[in-house]
């Protein structure tokens, strides 16, 4: 995929390229144990960890092409940083999406809007034929988010994620053209 990504404008938010100034708000959500409860990383309690993460993204941007494309999520009305979204393309014709929001913005439909924007971008802008999303089986909020975004439930996959030697079962969704 080409990086840095183009801005994508939604109804209430926009996806924009990540900037070095995003370190503090990334650290804010990445250090929150509740935000990281269902994620394989974190919490990342050190500001230096957030800075390294942002620098890694900016390094991919400098290269111009990457298998991971990251956006900052920003509220349209005031430019408030809400979280981060990404598309990861380990295969030629499919892509995985990921959305992480600061807990302050949970339960407002923003994750669903981000997911719809990522699906549209993957299919229309990047030419992928399939978009996949997954969440741990006990993460009901992400499960609902993918359903509301129009993704089709594929099934529960045992051991879908293995991180730090721990296998986790996941609910898997997709959209295909």
Q: What is the mean predicted confidence (pLDDT) over 109-136? A: 95
Taking 80 as the threshold, does the pLDDT of residue 42 lie above it? Answer: no
Q: What is the mean predicted confidence (pLDDT) over 89-114? A: 93
Taking 80 as the threshold, does the pLDDT of residue 90 lie above it? Answer: no
Taking 80 as the threshold, does the pLDDT of residue 163 lie above it? Answer: no
The pLDDT value given to residue 39: 82
Q: What is the mean predicted confidence (pLDDT) over 52-69? A: 90
Taking 90 as the threshold, does the pLDDT of residue 159 lie above it? Answer: no
Taking 90 as the threshold, does the pLDDT of residue 166 lie above it? Answer: no
Q: What is the mean predicted confidence (pLDDT) over 15-36? A: 95
**CB neighbours of residue 162 within 10 Å:** 10
The pLDDT value given to residue 72: 97
> Do residues 35 and 26 make contact, with C-beta atoms less than 8 angstroms apart?
no
Domains belonging to the chain, first-starting first, are 8-176 (3.40.630.30)
Sign of the dihedral through C-alpha 108, 115, 83, 103: positive
The pLDDT value given to residue 161: 77
Taking 90 as the threshold, does the pLDDT of residue 45 lie above it? Answer: no
pLDDT in tens, 124-153: 998 999 999 999 999 999 999 999 999 999
The pLDDT value given to residue 94: 92
Percent of the chain exceeding pLDDT 70 equals: 99
């Amino acid at each position: 995929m080409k990086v840095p990504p183009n801005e994508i404008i939604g109804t209430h938010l926009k996806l924009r390229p990540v900037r070095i100034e995003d370190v503090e708000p990334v650290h804010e959500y990445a250090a929150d144990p509740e935000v990281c409860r269902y994620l394989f990383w974190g919490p990342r309690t050190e500001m230096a960890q957030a800075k390294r993460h942002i620098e890694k993204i900016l390094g991919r941007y400098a290269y111009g092409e990457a298998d991971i494309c990251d956006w900052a999520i920003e509220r349209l009305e005031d430019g408030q940083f809400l979280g981060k979204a990404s598309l990861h393309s380990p295969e030629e014709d499919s892509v995985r999406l990921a959305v992480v929001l600061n807990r302050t913005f949970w339960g407002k439909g923003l994750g669903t809007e981000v997911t719809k924007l990522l699906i549209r971008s993957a299919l229309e802008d990047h030419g992928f034929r399939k978009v996949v999303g997954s969440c741990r089986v006990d993460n009901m909020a992400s499960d609902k988010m993918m359903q509301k975004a129009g993704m089709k439930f594929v099934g529960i996959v045992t051991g879908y994620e293995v991180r730090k030697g721990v296998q986790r079962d996941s609910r898997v969704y997709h959209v295909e053209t």
